[in-house]
Amino acid sequence: LASLNITIEEDPSLPPAQRMKVEKTYSAAGQRVKVSGWIHRIRNNKSLVFVVLRDGTGYLQAVLPGDLARAHQTSTLTLETSITLYGTITKLPEGKTAPGGVELTVDYYEIVGLAPSGEDSFTNKIAEGADPSLLLDQRHLALRGETLSAVMKVRAAFLKAVRAFYDKFGFTEVTPPCMVQTQVEGGSTLFKLDYYGEEAYLTQSSQLYLETLLASLGDVYCIQESFRAERSHTRRHLSEYTHIEAEMCFLDFDEFLTHIESLITNVVQAVVDDPIAGPLVKQLNPDFKVPQMPFMRLEYKDAIKWLNEHDIKNEEGEDFKFGDDIAEAAERKMTDTIGVPILLTRFPVEIKSFYMKRCADDPSVTESVDVLMPTVGEITGGSMRIDDTKELMEGFAREGINTDAYYWFIDQRKYGTCPHGGYGIGTERILAWLCDRFTVRDCSLYPRFSGRCKP
Ligand code: 4AD
């Protein structure tokens, strides 16, 4: 029973405690340490109180024995209370398991911030099975959970691996503007803003800016937020997402496709090999296997044939015909049935963007690619770009785009044009595939979609 007259004091005869993050305690057996963090779990077992402490670097099992367990103050501890624990790290005996294989035997502790109990308690706020929109209101608290925080750790390792890959191959990182006056992927998804009285937009893609940098910096990439006013709610559309984009010059379509495969396989392998992210991927997606090169290559026209052979219908409920957009549902059915990563290539001119280069052997199709992954569908879109001014102007005309605002983009063709191509990867989409999440919303810190712009 909790006793009111036990005071919690540090014994001055103990050796001084060394401040440590949880991760470091895993190799600190025998040392007296002080570790600060949040109470992730707590269990009161009469004479012993078990705490799992979380500090963002890991989880630490701690045990409060004797008087510490019986003290009244200990009985008031709640989940998410921030606390500093003092004590000695011991290696757990064979057969017992805890994170890092260690346990902290606490000899003293200090409460930093006591979290509420009752109505306002942490578990009440993010109750399991609660309405997803209530959970999104409490996203700042939900992010403390094991699953979401694991996805965010994998996300960080993934972005780190992407940068390392580009670095290895001599790409320069740049940060183009997000406030722009040009569209890249169609007018219907533009977010408009009032720019000192002029019309401007939030960027849909940094592609056009990346193209301008080839002549000064060579191959370039950026990791930047892109914005799309997507009105429909789907598993894979956000209004704001982290867009990884690269642009490369003096290469052909085949080299371009090989580069994309190589990026995906190498980066994913690096994440799986990462000491922190690797085990988290295993926990989130136990059956995950790193895809091997080369990926299956499927031309759009053969995909249309495949869809009809498998009795998958277009959006009008009819057989697919050449020129139809392969919308999300059909694309996913095809990708899930085939069950391996697919490079879907050579889309018809009419259903793709104004800047895509036509194939030399068939001008009705483009040197374009979508990378499709099982369970998610499209994670990457890219193409070789039109490098001839006249042809580019025809592309603008086809899409009904006024070219005044694009003079700087057109100039790239005028001042020493070159063959070039690039692509964009949706970070949340590739993570949904890697971490086996049902929706991209689970891979974004604070997801944005129509009707949601908070917290
Ligand atoms: O296919 P998209 O629209 O291509 C472009 O923006 C090109 N300009 C990129 C380039 O060549 N530099 O978008 C690229 C990728 C998609 O494959 C998808 O993964 C992701 O961006 N994406 C989205 N992710 C989340 N929510 C949305 N609304 C997205 N729209 C596209």
> What SS3 state is found at 12?
coil
- Given this model, what pLDDT does residue 4 score? 73
Determine the topology of domain 18-120 in CATH.
OB fold (Dihydrolipoamide Acetyltransferase, E2P) (2.40.50)
DSSP state, 447? -
Burial class (CB in 10 A: 0-12, 13-18, 19+), 331: buried
Residues with CB under 6 A from ligand 1: 184-185, 205, 207, 228, 230, 237-238, 241, 243, 245, 378-382, 422-426, 428-429, 440
User: At 308, which helix (H) or strand (E)?
Assistant: helix 300-309
Distance of CA 68 to the CA centre of its chain: 42
The interface predicted TM-score of the complex, written ipTM, equals: 0.99
| Ligand 1 atom closest to the CA of 207, numbered from 1 | 12
**How many residues are there in the chain?**
455
| Amino acid sitting at position 329 | A
Q: How far is the CA of 427 from the centre of ligand 1 (A)?
A: 9
Q: How far is the CA of 452 from the centre of ligand 1 (A)?
A: 20
Q: How far is the CA of 17 from the centre of ligand 1 (A)?
A: 51
Q: Which of 201, 203, 207, 226 to mutate to test the pocket of ligand 1 (most atoms within 8 A of CB)?
A: 226
Contact 142, 135 (CB under 8 A): yes
| Ligand 1 atom closest to the CA of 424, numbered from 1 | 9
Domains of the chain, by residue range, sit at: 18-120, 139-443
Ligand 1 atom 2: residue of nearest CA: 381
- Given this model, what pLDDT does residue 1 score? 63
Q: How far is the CA of 332 from the centre of ligand 1 (A)?
A: 16
> Please, what are the averages of pLDDT over each run of 10 residues along the chain (455 residues)?
83 97 98 98 92 98 96 96 98 94 98 96 88 93 96 98 98 98 94 97 98 98 98 93 98 98 98 97 97 97 98 95 95 96 98 97 98 96 98 96 96 97 98 97 97 96
Q: How far is the CA of 184 from the centre of ligand 1 (A)?
A: 10
- Given this model, what pLDDT does residue 314 score? 94
- Given this model, what pLDDT does residue 3 score? 79
Contacts for 14 with CB less than 8 Å, ≥ 6 apart = 32, 107
| Ligand 1 atom closest to the CA of 243, numbered from 1 | 21
Q: How far is the CA of 202 from the centre of ligand 1 (A)?
A: 14
Contact 99, 44 (CB under 8 A): no
Alpha-carbon distance of 23 to 171, in angstroms, equals 33
CA angle 135, 136, 139 (to 5 degrees): 90
CA distances for 349 relative to 249, 257, 352, 363, angstroms: 22, 19, 6, 8
Alpha-carbon distance of 76 to 80, in angstroms, equals 12
CA distances for 9 relative to 14, 71, 103, angstroms: 12, 11, 21
What sign has the CA pseudo-torsion 69, 74, 76, 81? negative
Domain covering 139-443 assigned CATH 3.30.930.10 in the classification: yes
DSSP state, 236? T
